[in-house]
Copies of this chain bind each other. A is one copy, B any other.
Amino acid sequence: MRVHNFSAGPAAIPLEILEQAQAELCDWQGSGMSVLEVSHRGKDFVACAAHAEELMRQVLGVPDNYRVLFLQGGATGQFAAVPMNLSDPGEVAAFLNTGQWSGKAIKAALAQGVEVQVVADEDASNYTTVPTPGSFTIDPGTRYLHYTPNETIGGVEFGYVPDPGDTVPLVADFSSSLLSEPLEVNRFGLIYAGAQKNMGPAGLTLVIVCDDLLGHARPETPDIFNYAKMAASDSMLNTPPTFGIYLLGLTLEWIIARGGLEAMAVRNRVKADLLYSAIDSSRLYHNPVAPDARSRMNVVFTLSDPDQGPGSGSGPGPDPDQELTDAFVAGAAEAGLVNLKGHRSVGGIRASLYNALELEDVEVLVTFMAEFEAAHC
Contacts and interface: CB of A to CB of B under 8 A. Distances in A.
A315 interface: no
A295 interface: no
A243 B18 CA distance: 13
Nearest to A344: B41
Contact of A42 (B1, B239, B339): B339
A203 B244 contact: yes
Interface stretch (A91-99, A115-123, A221-229): A221-229
Indicate how many identical chains form the complex. Answer: 2
Contact of A81 (B19, B222, B240): B222
A364 interface: no
A38 interface: yes
Query: On chain A, which size bracket covers the interface?
Result: 35 or more
Contact of A238 (B76, B111, B338, B339): B76
Contact of A5 (B37, B73, B74): B37
Nearest to A22: B25
A22 B19 CA distance: 9
Interface of A, helix, strand, loop or mixed by DSSP: loop
Contacts of A225: 222
A3 B29 CA distance: 13
Contacts of A219: 111
A40 interface: yes
Interface string A206-247: 000000000000011011110000000000011111111001
Contact of A36 (B3, B18, B79, B344): B18
Interface in A1-33: 1-3, 5, 7-13, 15, 18-19, 21-22, 25-27, 31-33
A79 B224 CA distance: 10
A243 B196 CA distance: 11
Contact of A1 (B18, B32, B34, B247): B32
A344 B236 CA distance: 14
A238 B75 contact: yes
A164 interface: no
A318 interface: no
Given A26-B19, A223-B108, A344-B41, A338 B33 contact: yes
Contact of A26 (B15, B108, B203, B222): B15
Interface of A: 1-3, 5, 7-13, 15, 18-19, 21-22, 25-27, 31-34, 36-42, 72-77, 79-81, 108, 111-113, 194, 196, 200-204, 219-220, 222-225, 237-244, 247, 336, 338-339, 344
